[in-house]
Amino acid sequence: MATTNHSARTSGLFTFPNPVNEVSARLVAGGVLLLSLAALVSGWRWLVVAIAYGFVARALTGPKLSPLTQLVNRVVIPRLRAAPRPVPGPPKRFAQAMGATMTVAAAVLALLGDETETDVLLALVVVAATLESVFAICIGCNIFAVLMRAGIIPREVCESCNDIWAARPGRPS
């Protein structure tokens, strides 16, 4: 019985919401933007480790273990009273995994003392987080769509985003 409970908790832990509230995603991206800029400007390399943890936590468990997402969902969004805007979850998870890859690499480089390489990766995170938070352009989501179109990501992974570009005006079809 204990194994079943542990198994249920573990499987529930490593799930990602579908759909995702785009308002939350954009606000979290704004937090990542601010933290990344703070790390770049201040030289506080420990922040890179915190940013990397957040991406890994979100990629693996959605909002469950991400302090930034918890803050956004429990404090910021209720105060904004913003209506939720559901978007497909799998592309957002893919984007979080891309962010995790970049920021873990940046954290390792920071711990090794490679400041220039760390700063380059952080600058890329700043660009991606700015595009997401300010303009609702998710680089990872667009790469996910290209990979789906190319057949690299099977259509079953995200039935609701088989044609993700059709969901937004102005996107190529």
Domain ranges within the chain, ordered by starting residue? 17-136
Number of Cβ within 10 Å of residue 133's Cβ equals: 19
pLDDT of amino acid 5: 47
pLDDT of amino acid 15: 86
Residue 45 · residue 111 · CB < 8 Å: yes
pLDDT of amino acid 148: 92
Residue 46 · residue 150 · CB < 8 Å: no
> What are the beta bridge partners of residue 87?
20
pLDDT of amino acid 82: 86
Number of Cβ within 10 Å of residue 172's Cβ equals: 5
In order along the chain (173 residues), what is the average pLDDT of each group of 10 residues? 46 83 97 97 94 97 94 95 92 97 97 94 98 97 93 87 53 42
pLDDT of amino acid 163: 53
pLDDT of amino acid 16: 84
pLDDT of amino acid 64: 94
pLDDT of amino acid 12: 83
The torsion angles phi and psi of 86, rounded to 5 degrees, stand at -70, 135
